[in-house]
Amino acid sequence: MESNLLKIGVIGVGHLGQHHVKHFCSIDGINFLGLFDTNTNQANAISKKFKVKAFENIDNLIDSVDAVSIVTPTTYHASVAEKCIRKKKHVFIEKPITSTIEEADKLLALAKKNKVIVQVGHIERLNPALRALEPYKISPKFIEIQRLAPYNTRGTDVPVVLDKMIHDIDIVLSLVDSKVRSISASGLSILTDSIDIAHAQIKFENGCVSSITSSRIAKDEVRKIKTFQQNLYSTVDLYKGLTEVYTVSKKGLDKKSFLMSVPFNYNNKTRHIIYEKPTIIKEDALKLELINFTNSMKGLEMPIVSGQSGREALNVAIEIQEKIIKGFIS
């Protein structure tokens, strides 16, 4: 193996971490050195499955690599990342960046001091269905997002806001080019001691309003985004990989066009609703974000989700949680 290749390891190889291992094993131009997990049986099983080294000691792994993917439960992100950053290793941290803002700020300050990259696994940003909106001028005035999932013990170390809603908070912050003006939220516990269902309304200084509903006790998996703005309405099904865009045009389409247009009349003027279903290129979003991480370290690309973006999403999530908890008490 060439010695100048970036050396990478994965810490935490449970449900998701094993996929990080799988992808790093297939990404060109890097040297995947191995993994560490506090559960030795799990570490050995994944080591055997992908024929990679399981380190017996976390420090040995960190000392051997240039960069680490941290895929432990959220409550350990801060302590593991701090260890890595203090040893001047770049880190890819699964979402949410940490459990608290204080932890996130400490990591970002340390990363700046040690000149290393912190990237966060807000994977939905790489979802091809969401990326299909990129050619359109999306500048929403209203966004509605629903994320529902059947109950699963994994992720219940944190409330649903940090486990599920944070994906959509990050999406909203990436779609709206304005500062948050105010947040209102409500929620309740159903199966755990923390928040299982949450609704938040985030208002922005430019007038945009977003409404996000998240539940981890639903029957079926739903992940849908609707955006509304003057003359443009889009729906994105992140789960099924389907994007539809409706725009308004003065002209209808000629018969050769594959698009559909429907005339409508308003104020004695006829205009046309154009319906488009952009082609979705099916790609593995996790692999794309790990490639982006390796390219960021090589200076070829900017991180799609920086540590700072992860911190901003967490900041909004924490405020939502606080508002919900206040509502519990009063």
Q: Which residues bind ligand NAD (CB under 6 A)?
A: 11-17, 36-39, 42, 71-74, 76, 80, 94-95, 121, 123, 154-155, 163
Task: Tell me which residue has tokens 């080294």.
Answer: 53
* Smallest separation, CB 189 to ligand NAD (Å): 19
Residue 76 or 239 having the CB closest to ligand NAD: 76
For ligand NAD, the closer CB: 11 or 54:
11
The nearest distance, CB 158 to ligand NAD, in angstroms, is 7
CB of 19 to ligand NAD, least distance (A): 9
Query: Nearer Cβ to ligand NAD, position 60 or 201?
Result: 60
Instruction: Identify the residue whose tokens are 């190889």.
Output: 13
Q: Which is nearer to ligand NAD, 55 or 204 (CB)?
A: 55
The residues with which 117 forms a beta bridge, in sequence order, are none
Q: How far is the CB of 232 from ligand NAD (least distance, A)?
A: 28
Give least dist CB 121 to ligand NAD, A.
4
| HEC secondary structure over the chain | CCCCCEEEEEECCCCCHHHHHHHHHHCCCEEEEEEECCCHHHHHHHHHHHCCCECCCHHHHHHHCCEEEECCCHHHHHHHHHHHHHCCCEEEEECCCCCCHHHHHHHHHHHHHHCCCEEEECHHHHCHHHHCCCCCCCCCCEEEEEEECCCCCCCCCCCHHHHHHHHHHHHHHHHCCCCEEEEEEEEECCCCCCCCEEEEEEEECCCCEEEEEEECCCCCCEEEEEEEECCEEEEEECCCCEEEEEEEECCCCCCCCCCEEEEEEECCEEEEEEEECCCCCCCCHHHHHHHHHHHHHCCCCCCCCEHHHHHHHHHHHHHHHHHHHHHHHC
Specify the residue, 76 or 142, whose C-beta has the smaller distance to ligand NAD: 76
For the bound state, the minimum distance from the C-beta of residue 304 to ligand NAD, rounded and expressed in Å, comes to: 13
Residues 6+ positions from 135 with CB-CB distance below 8 Å: 278
Q: Nearest approach, Cβ of 153 to ligand NAD (angstroms)?
A: 9
Minimum distance from residue 241 beta carbon to ligand NAD (Å):
15
Nearer to ligand NAD, 81 or 116 (CB): 81
Q: Which residues are CB-contacts of 146 (< 8 A; sequence separation ≥ 6)?
A: 212, 213, 214, 222, 223, 224
Which of 172/274 has CB closer to ligand NAD? 172
Query: CB-wise, 71 or 297, nearer to ligand NAD?
Result: 71
Nearer to ligand NAD, 42 or 292 (CB): 42
Nearest residue to ligand NAD, by Cβ distance, number only: 14
Q: Kindly state the smallest distance separating residue 122's Cβ from ligand NAD, in Å.
A: 7
| Spatial distance between the Cα atoms of 93 and 104, rounded to a whole number of angstroms | 11
